[in-house]
Amino acid sequence: MTQIPLAELHVLRRAAEPALADPQSSALARLVGPGVAELAPAGIAPFAMRRIGENAPLLHQGAQARHAYLVQAGYFKIVRIGEDGYEQVLDFVARDELLGADALADGRYTSGAVALEESWVWALELDAVQRLVRRVPGFASHWQALLARQIARAGELAWMMAAVGADKRTARFVILYSRRMAERGQSPRRLLLHMGRRDIACHLGLAPESISRAFSLLADSGILRVDNREIEILDAGALHHYALTTRGYPEHATGRRLAAAA
Partner DNA sequence: CGTAGGGTTGACAGCTTTCAAGAAGTGTGG
Partner DNA sequence: CCACACTTCTTGAAAGCTGTCAACCCTACG
**Binding residues vs DNA (CB under 7 A):** 164-167, 196-198, 205-213, 215-216, 226, 228-229, 247
| Distance in Å from the first CA to the final CA of the chain | 64
Nearest CA to 60 out of 112, 101, 106 is that of 112
How far is the C-alpha of 253 from the C-alpha of 123, rounded, in Å?
A: 49
Minimum distance from residue 224 beta carbon to DNA (Å): 11
Taking residue 33's Cβ as centre, other Cβ atoms within 10 Å add up to 16
4 binds a copy of itself (CB under 8 A): no
Residue from 40, 46, 87, 188 binding a copy of itself (CB under 8 A): 87
Which one, of 233, 95, 228, 101, lies nearest residue 174 by Cα? 233
Indicate the residue among 6 and 89 with the shorter CB distance to a copy of itself.
89
Q: Which one of a copy of itself, DNA, none is in contact with 175 (Cβ closer than 5 to 8 A by kind)?
A: none
The footprint of a copy of itself on residues 116-175 (CB under 8 A) is: 130, 133-134, 140-141, 144-145, 147-155, 157-159, 161-164
Check residue 12 for interaction with a copy of itself (CB under 8 A): no
Using CB under 8 A as the binding rule, whether residue 90 contacts a copy of itself is answered as yes
| DSSP at 222 | T
With CB cut-offs between 5 and 8 Å by kind, which of DNA, a copy of itself, none does residue 106 bind?
A: a copy of itself
Which residue, 6 or 233, is less far from a copy of itself as judged by CB? 233
Pick from a copy of itself, DNA, none: which does 153 bind, CB < 5 to 8 A by kind? a copy of itself
Q: 193, exposed or middle or buried, with CB in 10 Å at 0-12, 13-18, 19+?
A: buried
Measured CA distances, 194 to 134, 188, 189 (Å): 37, 15, 15
Give the residue, chosen from 5, 11, 38, 50, that forms a contact with a copy of itself under the rule CB under 8 A: 50
Asked if 92 and 76 count as a contact pair (C-beta separation under 8 A), the reply is yes
Site for a copy of itself (CB under 8 A): how many residues?
Answer: 79
Burial track 146-180 (b if 16+ CB lie within 10 A, e otherwise): beeeeeebeeeeeebeebebbbbbbbbbbbbbbeb
x/- contact string, 167-206, with a copy of itself (CB under 8 A)?
A: -------------------------------x--xxx-xx
- The answer to the question of residue 52 lying near a copy of itself (CB under 8 A) is yes
Contact partner at residue 190 from DNA, a copy of itself, none, CB < 5 to 8 Å by partner kind: none
Residue 228 contact partner, candidates DNA, a copy of itself, none, CB within 5 to 8 A by sort of partner: DNA
**Rounded alpha-carbon distances, angstroms, from residue 234 to 6, 165, 167, 185:** 15, 21, 16, 19
Task: Choose, by CB under 8 A, the member of 102, 113, 167, 180 that binds a copy of itself.
Answer: 102
Rule CB under 8 A: is residue 88 a binding residue for a copy of itself?
yes
Is residue 47 within 8 Å of 128, Cβ to Cβ? yes
Cα–Cα distance for residue pair 199/34, rounded to 1 Å: 37
The C-alpha atoms of residue 161 and residue 79 are separated, in whole angstroms, by 16
